Structure 1
Amino acid sequence: MNDLIPIPCVMMRGGTSKGPFFLATDLPADPVERDRLLLSVMGSGHPLQIDGIGGGNPVTSKVAIIGPGTVPGADVDYLFAQVRVDQNLVDTSPNCGNMLAAVAPFAIEAGLVVPTGERTRVRIHNVNTSKMIEAVLNTPNGKVCYLGEARIDGVPGNAAPISLSFLDAAGARTGKLMPTGRPVDRIDGIDVTCIDCAMPMIILAAADMGVTGTETVAALNGNAEMLARLEALRRKAGAAMGMGDVSGLVIPKPVLFSAPHHGGNFAVRYFMPHECHPSLATTGAVGIATAAITPGTVLARQFGTPALPAIIGIEHPGGQLSVDIEERDGQIVAGIIRTARRLFEGHVLAKPAASQCAA
């Protein structure tokens, strides 16, 4: 196997996503060479990623790259890479809050963070957005604990809770909570909210796309006409948000909302952006909840603006996700409970740049 390149790797589930975790020092420093290697590892360019460890779905074709903190107050750096399934593209423009859930346990077990007692707080600098997130996890006897009674919709069984607090998440990509300067914009005759909080998104009523918002993921993914309209709207919104041509990016993410049916504040269908998420992205939940408490947005107009502190229940195809929103020192802080699991560890074998074995 000396014609393949062994790279230390840990496969982890974070929230409702999973993918390989790497130490930054184990990957090429050059972004072009790093991305080429990640495409080889994941098997991109094939719908099943059959020649790699990707799962053939955007939520299982994600990579986390972890290193020591490089900004004041940060324990670790976390660079997220969305590796496209169908194309040989790596997008490092967004953050991923589900994979984020596994960063703290990985960092502790990799020796980057020393546990501080029964519970350990890890301050994570997301390199993609230059934002800080606090993770608090159980570390009894100085070791990461994955077993517990916490449950999150979209993941079977129970696990130990990991508390994530997004600190000052506004303007993650554009520098502004409302990149267009308005809580509502009218694009293609449809009222939308363009928001950038943890994740740049456009939020609109499902009815404006000719759907109810209660459809299954498979039904929405099979609605080619609706997906084409949504993509056209997304591209125009991206330009209006100052992001230029977003046709090759996975942001902004489109979000369709509708009335709740199971006790939440409202229901959503979150797109990644060309497929409906089987549940809901953590970063998406933070941005959606922030839109819900911001006066004048499409969500606030439809469902009202709750007073802080508030718990925003967001129904999604896999169940419901609750976001705790509070104001702390003049900043909005969003808290979410996630879980994680270490799945396997060892080496992943990447193809070298040359396609032939040495003679």
Structure 2
Amino acid sequence: MGARRPRAVDRRRPGAAGLGRPRGVIADVVRAEGAPGPTLVLDQGRLPRGALALRGELIAVRRWLEETGRGQVRKIALVGPSPVASYDVDYRFVQCLPEPDGFDFRTGCGHSLLAAVVASGRRGPVRVRAVTTGDPVLCLPRPDGSYTVRVERPVSVAELLPTGRPVQRLCGLPVSLVRYGNPYVFVAARDLGLTSRDALFGAGAEVLGRLLAVRAAAARLLGLPVTGALPKVAAVGACLPGRLSVRAATVTGWHPGLALTGSVCLAAARGVPGTVPWLLSEGPDRRPWAAVERVRPLRLDTPSGPVLVSAAGTGQRLAHVAVHGKRARVLERSLSLPWRIHVTA
């Protein structure tokens, strides 16, 4: 376990990091509730420029995590003060893939973004520039210690549908490909033979294999590597009135809950006529969010518990999507990592 450093608070002050040469690589381990594992949060000010892209160094860090009993850490976040005046924090994300030398630098992770905000020690609302996906995100602390995480990227319906179609067939199943933050593939649970929440949450390897096959087909359709982390895939069911049940897959198997980006993308998809989530909605919920122009609350049932998400439209565009009641806690503070980079003048 890493030793605590008395100067850890000083380095968290805005502007304290990034001055002069890196003084050694320091990281925190933070876990957001609902995430499949913790995030390793790296202080941007203690890394040489471009260091995160050095695959050899990342492989060494992953090996060190395994050797020190931290093998469950499969997400890496780089955080530091943003040079853009309208943001407080810049955040970059790297997803560790199953192979020891595999990384995906294109995906985003809302749980890791929240972990990075909590690790930064900033108080009050925090405006985050998610550099990996290009999304502006506002993290709002609540009196109970939780956060509302709001993605504030206005888009049209056309921008949400990467293929231009709300539904198409992949692997013999009608699916919806939607992009808001991360791209997702949504499959109706009933088309997988799952007609109850228990059946959905208890589905095993056979259903997982079908979902992963759909994900691979969608990746080829979108021009993404089949071995990467994108697009994500989830099965969605209308198992109880007024809510949706959802179960997603990760790069290594079933997700224990639902990615924060999955909640965001699902809420966005529900307001697009013809998509799988829209077709599964009932009554007044089956209306485009752009026609309502107000916050649309939605309860999602996941294997790890309920998630509350909302979407708001302005005119004919989706204005923002928010996930409510999210929490994260620091597991380890100020770890010294075995980074081998030598900085020269």
TM-score, reference length from structure 2: 0.78
Q: Aligned to 2:66, what secondary structure does the other structure show?
A: coil
Q: Give the C-alpha shift of residue 169 in structure 1.
A: 6.5
Determine the structure 2 residue equivalent to 1:136: 140
> What does residue range 264-343 of structure 1 map to in structure 2 within 5 Å?
265-304=243-282, 305-306=286-287, 307=292, 308-328=294-314, 330-337=317-324, 338-343=326-331
Q: 1:317 to 1:6 in 2, by over 3 A?
A: same
Matched, 1:248 2:227: yes
Determine the structure 2 residue equivalent to 1:144: none
Q: Give the C-alpha shift of residue 218 in structure 1.
A: 8.9
Q: Give the C-alpha shift of residue 96 in structure 1.
A: 0.8
Deviation by residue 1:320-342 (Cα, 9 ceiling, x = unmatched) = 10102112575421112211212
Q: Between the two proteins, what is the percent identity of the paired residues?
A: 25
Matched, 1:78 2:91: yes
Q: Give the C-alpha shift of residue 35 in structure 1.
A: 3.4
Determine the structure 2 residue equivalent to 1:62: 75
Q: Give the C-alpha shift of residue 88 in structure 1.
A: 1.9
CA RMSD in angstroms comes to 2.9
Q: Aligned to 1:299, what secondary structure does the other structure show?
A: helix
Q: Give the C-alpha shift of residue 351 in structure 1.
A: 6.4
Determine the structure 2 residue equivalent to 1:9: 27
Q: 1:226 to 1:194 in 2, by over 3 A?
A: same
Q: Is the 8 A contact 1:213 1:269 kept in 2?
A: no
Determine the structure 1 residue equivalent to 2:217: 236
**Residues of 2 paired with 1:83 and 1:53: CA distance?**
16
**Residues of 2 paired with 1:23 and 1:35: CA distance?**
18
Q: Aligned to 1:183, what secondary structure does the other structure show?
A: coil
**Residues of 1 paired with 2:340 and 2:230: CA distance?**
30
**Residues of 2 paired with 1:219 and 1:351: CA distance?**
42
1:100 to 98, 109, 113: 113
**Alignment length (residue pairs):** 306
**Residues of 2 paired with 1:217 and 1:343: CA distance?**
32
Q: Give the C-alpha shift of residue 70 in structure 1.
A: 3.6
1:50 to 66, 71, 74: 66
Q: 1:33 to 1:180 in 2, by over 3 A?
A: closer
Matched, 1:183 2:171: no
**Residues of 1 paired with 2:47 and 2:69: CA distance?**
17
Q: 1:69 to 1:273 in 2, by over 3 A?
A: same
Unpaired segments of 5 or more residues in structure 1? 139-147, 150-159, 354-359
Q: 1:315 to 1:257 in 2, by over 3 A?
A: same
Deviation by residue 1:224-250 (Cα, 9 ceiling, x = unmatched) = x4333322321221232x3x1421210
Q: 1:38 to 1:348 in 2, by over 3 A?
A: farther
Q: Give the C-alpha shift of residue 176 in structure 1.
A: 2.9
Q: Give the C-alpha shift of residue 204 in structure 1.
A: 0.7
Q: Select the structure that is richer in helix.
A: 2
Deviation by residue 1:185-244 (Cα, 9 ceiling, x = unmatched) = 122321100000122100011233344564589954x51x4333322321221232x3x1
1:19 to 39, 44, 47: 39
